[in-house]
Chains A and B, each alone.
Chain A
């Protein structure tokens, strides 16, 4: 990886079933992630993905770029826009792009861009990978 490199785009499809599965695995059962009734009652357009689920997709992309899991040293973002997941079989696509920001002897700093539709859903997502 060299400074300025654009890393291969990773696209992930997210359906309601994925959110149910993530709720169980993570222990986050907030109903805004599975109930339209509760989600709309707090002003959301409908059921939204867990911010941590979207962040996990960014982690997946990082593992792919790093060539193996376990290389992430730092990972951070703001949750700026919700990923609204419709109640259908298609779901939505979350797209993860990355650019190499800095390379040192033992680490690579990556700036991410995570979008759904045309909208950035994570704010200032960035990561540091250990060099293999």
Chain B
């Protein structure tokens, strides 16, 4: 089943604020073998917050995505500043594009990650490939 065609251009409500702890950055840095100097979180850390926004999209029954058919096709990060401990971050996801190729839905998403003051921290772009029933 193809996903809802009206999805393109839709912006989802921002995620609940995520407070970044020192311990969470240490955990993520250890899991990726990254250096953590007590300041900047590893570059891919914002995926933890972006996941929350992507899950809201994928779990929305009206959208029609079957989770086990989703593959991560492409990922891009654009940073204003690194994430640091103490940040309270929210992600607001917009579906930038939606197209069908060979029975798969290619869903282009953009999540704007902002801090507690509303200032931009990072934009994450994720392309999700939703494979149709074979």
Cβ B79 vs Cβ A55 within 8 A:
no
**A52 to B75, Cβ gap below 8 A?**
yes
Most chain B CB within a 10 A radius of its CB, from A12, A55, A56, A57 = A56
Query: Residue of A at shortest CB range from B38?
Result: A69
A residues in contact with B71, CB < 8 Å? 79
B32 contacts A53, C-beta separation under 8 Å: yes
For B28, list chain A residues within 8 Å (CB): 25-26
Contact B76 A76 (CB under 8 A): yes
| B30 contacts partner chain A, Cβ-Cβ < 8 Å | yes
In the assembled complex, the Cα of A78 lies from the Cα of B71 at a distance in Å of: 11
A73 close to B30 (CB less than 8 A) = no
The residue of chain A having its C-beta at the shortest distance from the C-beta of B51 within the complex is A27
Within 8 A of A (CB), among B45-93: 47-48, 51, 68, 71-79, 82
**Contact A73-B47, Cβ < 8 Å, known A56-B34, A59-B34:** no
In the assembled complex, the Cα of A22 lies from the Cα of B48 at a distance in Å of 11
B residues whose Cβ falls under 8 Å from a Cβ of A = 27-28, 30-37, 39-44, 47-48, 51, 68, 71-79, 82, 125, 127
The 6 sampled A-B contact pairs (Cβ below 8 Å) are A26-B28, A26-B31, A52-B47, A60-B32, A73-B79, A78-B73
